[in-house]
Structure 1
Amino acid sequence: MKTEDMPVLDLCGSPRENGRHHGEILRAEIKATIDLWQSSATLPAGITFPWAVESLIQSTGFIAQIKAHIPDLLEEIAGIAEGANQDLNLVLAFQLGDEMRWFFRDQDVRADRCSAIGAAGIGAEPTIIGQNIDVGSWADGMQVLLRIRDPRDESETLVFTVAGMVAMNGVSGRGFGLCCNTLLQLSPNPRGLPVAAIVRRTLASRTAAEALHVLRTIPHASGQNYVFGSRTEIRNLECGGSGIAEYRHGARIDRVIHTNHPLVHKDAVFPLGPLLETSSRLRLESLDRRFASMTGPSTYEEVVEVLQARDDPDFPVCRETELDRSDPYWMTIAATIFEIGDTVQMHCAAGPPTQSQFVRFGVNPPRCCA
């Protein structure tokens, strides 16, 4: 997809209205996305997709956790299902991609290969967070931005995702942003909050301190690494069902990098397949050499170059489907860069950043009198 063709949905109504607008505008894309998701899902022999959806929802506490921590999100998901003319349970399950994988013990070698980096702001220079989002090529052409306006203070949250899904990552006009990458090895918790809901709950926080508190205290359903940044700091949390471990790159607090294997968390119960382990470690080496070894504040231009890196032809940070014929299933469906300083902005490329142009999006702060 060309970035300039990526839909940007302005959501300023009630949660149900926002979801219904999402579903109606992207009805065809949501049907195509869910169909492709179903066809590419890996399930144990003898398990049908409808049974898997029912089991995932009924045998876990995911819905109860969403009700407890961010109930408006269930209304939004119901609205998506209504607007798109899709079964509600199917749309609910679509939000649970990470959870479905460990629930059915899917240790597919194609598992997520996202790469994330962050640098704290210094003086007038903003904090900056960057991420390549690598998922199945089924998601290409389905990229979308959600611009969510809070009626309480008119602040905006900009969320990157695909049609029908509530979140992959995002940044808040209140001065903080969040990227994440899968850590399938960590213990899951079937009574925890799913990843997509954690992203939305964190971004719905009123302050950066509240957002970080949410990440630290909420029960996590799936192993996931979160790179969190505000105007004053950058934090990296490896989160799983058994707890949280904070990763720092050596003794430094100014820059952080991460891929798809735990760097400090000790509760890794699922082994990493050899291909994904090789990919994760080689990408981490690229991020270390190009980004973490540097000092001082980062810049948008530097982060673009890091996310475009193809240092190893088989396991690059930036994955291009046309070049990477050894694994055509996999691709970088987007690169996002958040700049968080006196103003907040997002740069997004709707595809591999070597092949797609970045477009800048401003994110409005709260009203001063709110």
Structure 2
Amino acid sequence: GEQHGEALRGRIADGLGRWAEAIAATHGSDPDAYIAGFVRGTDYLPAIRRWTPDLLAEVAGIARGAGQPWEWIYASNLLDEEWTWAKERPAGAAPGCTTAGFAAPGEMPVLAQTMDIPNVHDGTQALLRVQGGDGPDCLVFTHAGMIGLTGGNAAGVAVVVNNLDVLPTSPAGLPVAFAVRGILERRTLADAVAFVAGIPHATGQHYGLAGPDGLASIEGWAAGVIVRAEPTPRLLHTNHPLYTEEAVGDAEPRYRRSRTRERLDYLVREAGAAGQERDGAGVRALLQDSTVPVSLGAEEPSMTFGAVVYECAVPTAMWVAPGPPHETAYQQVRW
């Protein structure tokens, strides 16, 4: 954590500064008071200490290395949770991550997503190489100061996520960034599925998982978890629940703003017939769409911060576009 904070000190400071400006503009309150209220008003620490204690120490290390207050670094690792806690949201902003996975019989599984988050984070894209823990080494795409948005490990396990903020939440569950890194500490797809199925969830999320032996799709929220881990040649998901109807309130306005159904229809249409599953290059192209759109530019309140594609051999092969993939070239990340 301290190495992360020191290496990305300037980028972390820039990102937190822009976030502070956005808090003041959106909520009309002092940013320090807002962050203090958020930290006091939630109770995620017991779940973090129980399920991923080493990651709490990593967050503290990031704060020390970056020379930033612990509360701000901790809060910046609660991206989805702060969205849920906030009393207001910027007009037009809505989750927009798009996930696609393919595992044709006898072929290497491929898992991918666009990662859509508020555009105040643009310019803080970062890639972490995590080594030396009890689990396998891993490669993690994130914003500077955060322990992880998505990643793949040396055992071939990868994870992507879709926010399902219409589902019930808990101020005492395990936050999604900590769940993502907990998944990457697992050496098999089965162990990763068991971990996600066993934790309490702070926010509604879809976890797309892959390993050398296939794909798994999990929806978790405060009141439940549904696992779809049976063998399947494809995994397609956006930002509305597919396995539960426990949405809170009127979800349709959010679905319309994020165009979640249109994006899923695009994936289904472009995925083609069964038996024609896409390889890594085909999935990279799938996520470059700017018409539905799957890939959103930085002029949008919620932008495509980046796109990742994992080819789940041992170790995982990772491709990253550190920005909207229709504007930013993919780069292969070497171990």
State TM-score, norm by structure 2: 0.92
User: Structure 1, residues 215-267: CA drift from partner, whole Å, max 9, x if none?
Assistant: 1110000011111111112111111111112469xx98210111111122221
Match of 1:260 in 2: 239
Match of 1:66 in 2: 48
Q: Does the 8 A contact of 1:256 with 1:292 survive in 2?
A: no
Q: Aligned partners of 1:329 and 1:45: how far apart in 2?
A: 15
Two-structure CA RMSD over aligned residues (Å): 2.3
1:79 and 2:61 aligned: yes
Q: Does the 8 A contact of 2:109 with 2:212 survive in 1?
A: yes
1:310 and 2:310 aligned: no
1:208 and 2:189 aligned: yes
User: Structure 1, residues 61-117: CA drift from partner, whole Å, max 9, x if none?
Assistant: 211111111111111111111111100011111111211122234455312211011
The percent of aligned pairs where both chains have the same amino acid is: 31
Match of 2:170 in 1: 189
User: Structure 1, residues 255-306: CA drift from partner, whole Å, max 9, x if none?
Assistant: 0111111122221114336264351111111111112644344301210121
1:56 to 27, 38, 43: 38
1:120 and 2:103 aligned: yes
Q: Does the 8 A contact of 2:27 with 2:88 survive in 1?
A: no
Provide the secondary structure at the position in 1 that maps to 2:235.
Answer: strand
Matched ranges for 1:93-104 at <5 A = 93-104=75-86
Provide the secondary structure at the position in 2 that maps to 1:198.
Answer: helix
Q: Aligned partners of 1:44 and 1:359: how far apart in 2?
A: 35
* Alpha-carbon spacing, 1:65–1:175, altered in 2? closer, same or farther (3 Å): same
My pick for the range that moved more, 92-101 or 55-64, is 55-64
Deviation at 1:346, TM superposition (A): 0.2
* Alpha-carbon spacing, 1:298–1:335, altered in 2? closer, same or farther (3 Å): same
Q: Does the 8 A contact of 2:167 with 2:203 survive in 1?
A: yes
Q: Aligned partners of 2:26 and 2:120: how far apart in 1?
A: 21
1:285 to 249, 252, 265: 265
1:33 and 2:15 aligned: yes
AA of the residue aligned to 2:95: D
Gaps of 5+ in 2: none
User: Structure 1, residues 318-341: CA drift from partner, whole Å, max 9, x if none?
Assistant: 1124xxxxx633321211000012
Match of 1:5 in 2: none
Q: Does the 8 A contact of 1:121 with 1:128 survive in 2?
A: no
Counting matched residue pairs gives 333
Q: Does the 8 A contact of 2:188 with 2:211 survive in 1?
A: no
AA of the residue aligned to 2:226: A
Match of 1:164 in 2: 145
Q: Aligned partners of 2:314 and 2:7: how far apart in 1?
A: 33
1:174 to 148, 152, 155: 155
